[in-house]
Structure formats: structure tokens, C-alpha cells
Structure 1
Amino acid sequence: MKHTLMPWERGVVFRRGALLEVLGPGRHRLRWRDVVHRVDVRPRSYAPAWQDVPTADGVLVRVTVVLNWEVVDAAAFVVAAASPFDELHLAAQLALRAAVLTRSHDRVDAERGAIAAEVLSGMRPRAAELGVEVRAVAVRDVVMPAELRKAALNEIVARSEGRAALERARGETAALRSLLNVARLAEEHPALLELRALQSAHTVVVDRPR
């Protein structure tokens, strides 16, 4: 019986219920009762469903991660678990939960990189048992509860309004300072007021002596 495996495939061969060998790409001749499980070893990305995770201060934060992984041991991938995808998903959820639980809610979004590194480290032992290598983990989304999002928006608006009020106060202070300087000059130099009056007049009439 002939089997042809593509470059991205490995064939895990069982004979009479026992693991026999792992075949690489190419054409192979096997006994007709041999069972071959094809395993795709190409790198792939996987985004487990979002998860509501409690933070250290008791806030439920919705977090989504993306995994980049590939099969490095086809035999372990077939033998170690009935559903290696589900096991990988569970390992990601547990590692994410452990990483978020140590942080307050206001640190989760700011520390995405550190959380991703902790998830990667936490997943690796179980992934190795499954014949999988997790290449990278990224935190894709961090969604706070609606009440916190509203509070954060109000805080941003309040800061903007505060900056605007500060700029208005600075402008008014500068205007008052200018008026004060003008008043001092007028007090020290009365002739300046007469010159200003002459500059402001539209018509100057000079009475010539006859």
C-alpha cells in the first residue's frame, strides 16, 4: 500500500496498535493494515476565544491572545492527547489567567508585552508534551468593563477641560499684566497719555495766529 506525503506533512505509522515510525515527505510503501495519521507541521496562528479574567483588584477584564505555533514532534502530537488543539487552548487560558491575576486592572493594558511573555513561558511545558512549540504569543485585545471605560473617558474629558481652563487663565493673567504695565507707564510718564490721545485722534486742528 503506497502513501504520498507532502512537504508540510509527517506520517505517524501504527502497526497492530503500536507506534511504528514517523515518515517524512515523499512516497512510501506500507503494509495494507498499517494505519497512517497525517500531521500538518506548518507554522500557524491561533486566536483562542476571548476570556474574562479577574485582576488582582477584582475587576473582570476581557483579554484575547494570539498564538503562533507549530508541530515539532508528530508522534507526540498524535499520541499525547485525544484533542491536542483543545489542550493547547486550555494551556493558553490557564497561563493567561495566571499572568493577569497578579496585576491590577490599570496595569493589564500597559503591560501587554510582559503578559504575553508570561503566557508563553507558562504554556511551554504543556505544549512540549503535546509535541508543539509555541513560537510567539501576543495580547491582541484588552477590554475593560463598561463602567471603567466610561470613567476613563470622563477622566480624559476632565483633563482636557482642565488644560483649556489653565490656558484661559494664563491668557487672562497675561492681559492683566499688560494692563498693569501700561498703567505704571502712564503714572510715571503722563506725557505718554497725551501722545496716545494725539495718535488716536482722526483730525488734528492747528490754530494759526493771525
Structure 2
Amino acid sequence: MKTVRIQTQEIGLLFRNGDFHKVLLPGKHWIWPNETLYFYKRGDLLQNPPRDLTVLLSYPEIAAELDVLEVRDGEIALQYENEMFRAVLQKGRWAYWKGVKNYRYQILDVTQLAIPAEVDLASLMPQPLSAYVRTTTVEGHDKGVLFIDWKFDSVLEPGVYHWWKNNTPVHVLKVDTRRQQMEISGQEILTKDKATIRLSFYVQYHVRDVVKALVENKDYDKQLYVQMQLALRAYIGGLTLDELLDKKADMAEAILQVTAAKAEQLGIELSGGGVRDIILPGDMRDIMNQVLMAEKKAQANIIMRREETASTRSLLNTAKLMEDNEMLWKLKEMEYVEKIAEKINSISVSGSGQVIDQLKQIFVSSKN
């Protein structure tokens, strides 16, 4: 025989000859050789019991000292100690010794998707519920569409969303609702007069209806790209190269008007666009340069002819005036003599005396 002492926060299970005998409470006890004592702390989980839990609970003395919780399939339990979260309990039977600690349990059905509002996710996420909860964040500039079991359920506004992890498929598609720009680059298109051009176009848009964009249509952005391509080809194919170059500024508005209805079916609103550049092939570019040079030369020739005509008309008027006025004729002669004299530094006169007399006569007659 030996003496054992059970402390205040302990409890003992005494077995005699392999069978349960009684519960030992705090105090001093005598143990016979054929008896076995198992010690436990109150408030702790009953672990490694000497017998199956069902067998132990069949004894009223043990059942009265245990707080037993059964968590079924498809459930979890949140355990709170003194109103503070302590642990997540999965399916199974959980037995805690009564006393010392005050436990409270919240049973949750995780076969459903919705998480009850009374579950304090703010304090339980990301740990310790992350293993049981799936989370999706919709950013401030995004919108989302929720699919449950592969079927459209609802539109998600910006925020953080939680669902229980279970066998029900949950998918969220998100789309940026800010203004975006799409480039339609390097499009080789034939004009009405069979000229090949390479064109780059851009369009600005934003998603207005996320259900149309993500639920009713697949790859809305690719569909928009194709619609813009077709509209550009139809517009350019109906114009000659000269008409296209003349109407370049009006092209964007015409394309946007044509594609607006198609874009609306995709849940998209077009907000702007324009032609980035029009590139001609090398041979076509050379031809256009030659045409441009010919046009400029023709314009220059016209201007030169106008100037020549005006100059000739002026000379004709001057000649008519001098023909009717001898004094004007002499003045014109003196004007030319003066211009010639400006370029002469010195004059040397050689000859007989008759030359001097002739010069005198010229100047004397001009004075008279």
C-alpha cells in the first residue's frame, strides 16, 4: 500500500484489477498494489484515456466530471475560454475536465458557403481559420462576378469576401473598371483604289456592365479588338487613298460611331480613340513624293509666270509712256547712264579733236 496526494486542480481515475473503481478528488489517498491511478489536470483535454471514451462515459461518476462536445461531419467548433478564442475543433468527440476553466463552444456548419455574421472574422483571420475559409479581395477599382457551383450568383463590389471551404466550387472573376486603352497596331489594309497602307489605331474604353463583359461574353477585350479591326477595314476599304488622307481627322469619330453598339453588347463604353499613324509602303511612298514634288513645281511655275507677266506688263506701260514723251526718254537714258557710271572707276578718252567736239555737242544739246 502506498499514499498519493491529488492536488487542488487535479483529478484521478482509480482502476482496480483493470476495471474502473472510482474518481479520486483532491486530497490524500491510499493505493493498493492491485490498483492503478491516472492523474489529470482540470480544464485539460482528456488525452490517452485508459479506456475508450465511450466506456468511460458509461460511468456516471466520470461523466459528471467531463464536459463532452461532439462535432459532426461538415462541422467545426470554435472553443472560447473565458470568452476568449482558444482553438478550432474538428469533427470528433472532445472531452475536457470540468473546473478551473470556463469553456464556451460555437458549432458552425461548414457545408454551407455563407459564414454567420456572429463569427468574428476580423480577429480569427488569417489565423487560425485560414484552413477552413477561402478569401477573395476585390480591389477598389475592380468589380467581380461570383460563380457558385459554376453558376452566376451575384456581382461583387470592392471589398473582402469570405466563404467556407467545402466541396462547392466557388469562382470569382474580376475586371478593372478604370479607363483602359487598346492598341490596334500594324494593320495592313487595302483602300478602294487598291493601295496598301499600314495603320495604327487606338481606342479608349471602360467596362460599364460586368455581367455582360464577364458572364454573357467570353474574352470581351478580344471581341472588341476584332470589332475595331473590322470597322477599320470597312471604313478604309470604302475610300481612295487621297480621300483617306483628306478624312484622316474624321476617321476616329466614324469608327467609334460604328462600333459603339457592338461595344455596348460587350458591356463596354467607348470614350475616345484616334489614328496614331498611317504608313505607306516604300514604292507607294516614292510615288507620293514624286506627286508632291510635281505639284510644288507646278505651283512654282505658276507663280513665276505671274511675276513674268506682271513684269512684262510694267515694261509695256513704261515703253508707251516714253514713246509719247521725249523728255521721259532722255531721263530713262540718263538713268541707265548713271547705273553704268556707278560701276566705272575712270574713263580714258583717246582720239582726234573731233571726239571732244562731239561730246560737247551731246551735252550741250541735252542741256538745250
* TM value normalised by structure 1: 0.81
Could you tell me which residue of structure 2 aligns to residue 188 of structure 1? 324
User: Residue 47 of structure 1 contacts residue 64 of structure 1 at CA under 8 Å; is this kept in 2?
Assistant: yes
Q: What residue number does 2:5 align with?
A: none
Could you give the per-residue CA deviations for residues 131-168 of structure 1, whole angstroms, max 9, x where no partner exists? 22222232222233333332332222222222322333
**Residue 297 (structure 2) aligns with:** 161
Say yes or no: does 1:15 pair with 2:151: no
Residue of structure 2 in register with 1:45 after alignment: 181
Cα shift at 1:181 = 3.0
- After superposition, the C-alpha distances for 1:178-207 in whole angstroms (9 at most, x for unaligned) are 3333332332222333445566477x9788
Distance in 2 separating the partners of 1:27 and 1:183: 98
Structure 1 residues 192, 9: closer, same or farther in 2, change over 3 A?
Answer: closer
DSSP 3-state at the match of 1:48: strand
Match of 1:59 in 2: 195
Map of 1:151 onto structure 2: 287
1:197–1:95 CA distance, 2 compared to 1 (3 A): closer
When residues 137 and 192 of structure 1 are mapped into structure 2, their CA distance, relative to the original with a 3 A threshold, is: closer
C-alpha distance in structure 2 between counterparts of 1:170 and 1:121, whole Å: 47
Corresponding residue number in structure 1 for 2:220: 84
The code of the aligned residue for 2:243 comes to: R
2:207 corresponds in structure 1 to 71
Partner of 1:30: 163
- What is the identity, as a one-letter code, of the residue corresponding to 1:182? T
AA aligned opposite 1:100 = I
Amino acid at match of 1:120: L
For 2:329 and 2:253, locate their aligned partners in 1 and report how far apart those are by CA, in whole Å. 73
Report whether the alignment pairs 1:138 with 2:285: no
- Number of residue pairs matched by the alignment: 207
Secondary structure in 1 matching 2:164:
coil
- Deviating 4+ runs (over 4 angstroms): 195-202, 204-207
Amino acid at match of 1:69: Y
Unaligned runs of 5+ in 2: 1-133, 342-358
Give the counterpart letter for 2:203 in structure 1: L
Q: 2: distance between equivalents of 1:185 and 1:128?
A: 79
Are the counterparts in 2 of residues 9 and 25 from structure 1 also a CA contact under 8 Å? yes
Q: Determine which structure has the larger helix proportion and give its number.
A: 1
- Are the equivalent residues in 1 in contact too, given 2:323–2:329 (CA < 8 A)? no
Rounded Cα–Cα distance in structure 1 between residues aligned with 2:317 and 2:258? 69
Higher relative contact order structure (alpha carbons within 8 Å, sequence separation ≥ 6): 1
CA distance in 2 between counterparts of 1:107 and 1:143 reads 15
Indicate the residue corresponding to 2:315 in structure 1: 179
CA 1:29–1:62: 2 relative to 1, 3 Å: same
Could you say what the CA RMSD is over the residues aligned between the two structures, in angstroms?
A: 2.8
Higher mean Cα deviation, 48-57 or 11-20? 48-57
Instruction: State the shift of 1:87 in Å.
Output: 1.5
Partner residue, 1:97:
233
Relative to structure 1, the CA distance from residue 159 to residue 27 in structure 2 (aligned partners, 3 Å threshold; closer, same or farther) is same
Does structure 1 residue 110 correspond to structure 2 residue 246? Answer: yes
Change (3 A) 1:31 1:114: farther
**Alpha-carbon distance in structure 1 between the residues aligned to 2:226 and 2:334:** 88
Structure 2 length-normalised TM: 0.49
Bigger mean CA offset, 20-29 vs 78-87: 78-87
Give the Cα separation in 2 of the matches to 1:151 and 1:126.
38
Moved more, 38-47 or 50-59: 50-59
Partner of 2:23: none
Contact 1:108 1:142 (8 Å CA) reproduced: no
Matched residues in 2 for 1:165 and 1:98: separation?
Answer: 40
Task: For residue 58 of structure 1, give the secondary structure of its aligned residue in structure 2.
Answer: coil
CA distance in 2, matches of 1:75, 1:90: 20
Greater displacement, 172-181 / 191-200: 191-200
State which drifts further: 188-197 or 71-80. Answer: 188-197
User: 2:293, 2:232 → 1: CA distance?
Assistant: 32
Pair 176,116 (structure 1): closer, same or farther in 2 beyond 3 Å: closer
- Asked which structure has the greater CA Rg, the reply is 2
